[in-house]
């Protein structure tokens, strides 16, 4: 796992469409000093207060993870949080003009490219992390999330859907390279039979074949097909990593999940963090190269790079 604290080298401005609202969303990512944490702010709401990206501030888990409440809430944050965790960025301010972050192409790859384009600043300060001391499990019917002690981070995830998708399983052991190439490119997905119901409930209003994998009983409707044969379970791992980032520190352990979604992920995390003696703190002490803060500003109109997509499809 990443041992030292990081932020981005310069401010980033980006725009995109919201998956659930269909609105054009403007986002500004700004560097923050050591020990700041990750903060979200509704920049379009007068007198809005910043919200720390922590599990106690989660207000909604229906089809996405939402921080804050009412007009001070920001939804669909899990892809960005997964990338911040995957690249080791733990000090950042995210200002959002709209009720959710952009969906881009439905994966986390756009966020990876944006952060890699501006570069990351590594601080000399160690990044605290925690290690699982004994097993912990949450069960909800035939769905569950479990963690056992381990010296690394891994997740074994299983999905089980009717029709074309059926059962998919994948084991992911963390490395930054594996996250970027194997998990970040996996797009969000839905069943065609669920689309009308979601839209009646005011969800997925911005969804389409350009930002989601849509699956019917006959197969995948997207003309380009899948980026991976098991793209859907890879995306579930991506969502899980984003939800787990709300622990605020990396957690070393062997995680197993079956048929879990945002609600169960957050229930698991909240109850594990509240329970005594399940986690022990670890603080790496090795020195790191200090880099200087850069206060420049970059603006990006995101378009997925062909080379990045080819790399994703190759895997």
Can you list the domains of the chain with their CATH numbers?
A: 4-126+287-314 (3.30.230.20), 129-282 (3.30.1700.10)
Neighbours of 300 (CB within 10 A): 14
* pLDDT higher than threshold 70 for residue 1: no
Cβ(243)–Cβ(266) below 8 Å? yes
Cα distances from 262 to residues 63, 77, 134, in angstroms, run 7, 11, 23
Average pLDDT over every residue of 298-312: 39
Q: What is the length of the chain?
A: 315
Which of 2, 4, 79, 262 is catalytic? The answer is 262
* pLDDT higher than threshold 90 for residue 142: yes
Residue that the structure tokens 């190269």 belong to: 289
* pLDDT higher than threshold 80 for residue 50: yes
* pLDDT higher than threshold 90 for residue 162: no
pLDDT cut 90: percent of the chain above it: 81
Hey, what are 88's tokens?
């080791």
- In the three-class reduction of DSSP (H, G, I as helix; E, B as strand; rest coil), residue 116 is classed as helix
Beta-carbon contacts of 251 under 8 Å, excluding residues fewer than 6 positions away, are 129, 130, 131, 132, 147, 153, 244, 279
Per mean pLDDT, which range of 167-176, 207-216, 300-309 is the poorest?
300-309
pLDDT digits (tens, 9 = 90+) for 232-290: 999 999 999 999 999 999 999 999 999 999 999 999 999 999 998 999 998 665 444 44
Cβ(40)–Cβ(76) below 8 Å? no
* pLDDT higher than threshold 50 for residue 299: no
Question: Does the pTM of the predicted model rise above 0.95?
Answer: no
Rounded Cα gap, residues 165 and 217, in angstroms: 8
Residue that the structure tokens 């200087």 belong to: 292
**2 in catalytic set:** no
Instruction: Tell me the angle at which helices 262-274 and 231-244 cross, rounded to the nearest 10 degrees.
Output: 30
């Amino acid at each position: 796992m990443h041992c030292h604290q990081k932020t981005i080298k310069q401010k980033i401005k980006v725009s995109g469409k919201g998956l659930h609202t269909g609105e054009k969303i403007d986002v500004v990512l700004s560097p923050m000093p050591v020990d700041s944490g990750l903060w979200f702010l509704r920049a379009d709401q007068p007198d809005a207060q910043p919200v720390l990206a922590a599990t106690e501030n989660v207000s909604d888990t229906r089809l996405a993870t939402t921080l804050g409440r009412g007009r001070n809430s920001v939804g669909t944050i899990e892809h960005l949080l997964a990338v911040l965790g995957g690249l080791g960025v733990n000090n950042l301010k995210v200002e959002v003009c709209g009720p959710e972050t952009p969906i881009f192409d439905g994966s986390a790859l756009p966020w990876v490219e944006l952060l890699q384009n501006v570069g990351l600043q590594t601080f000399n300060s160690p990044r605290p992390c925690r290690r699982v001391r004994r097993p912990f499990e949450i069960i909800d019917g035939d769905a569950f999330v479990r963690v056992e002690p381990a010296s690394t981070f891994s997740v074994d995830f299983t999905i089980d859907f009717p029709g074309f998708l059926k059962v998919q399983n994948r084991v992911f052991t963390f490395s930054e390279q594996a996250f970027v190439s194997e998990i970040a490119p996996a797009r969000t997905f839905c069943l065609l039979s669920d689309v009308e119901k979601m839209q009646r409930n005011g969800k997925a209003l911005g969804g389409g074949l350009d930002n989601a994998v849509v699956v019917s009983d006959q197969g995948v409707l997207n003309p380009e097909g899948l980026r991976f044969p098991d793209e859907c379970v890879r995306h579930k791992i991506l969502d899980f990593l984003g939800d787990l980032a709300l622990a605020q520190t990396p957690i070393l352990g062997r995680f197993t999940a079956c048929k879990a979604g945002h609600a169960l992920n957050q229930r698991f995390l909240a109850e594990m963090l509240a329970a005594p003696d399940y986690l022990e703190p670890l603080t790496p002490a090795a020195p790191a190269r200090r880099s200087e803060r850069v206060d420049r500003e970059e603006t990006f109109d995101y378009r997925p790079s062909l080379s990045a997509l080819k790399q994703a499809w190759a895997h």
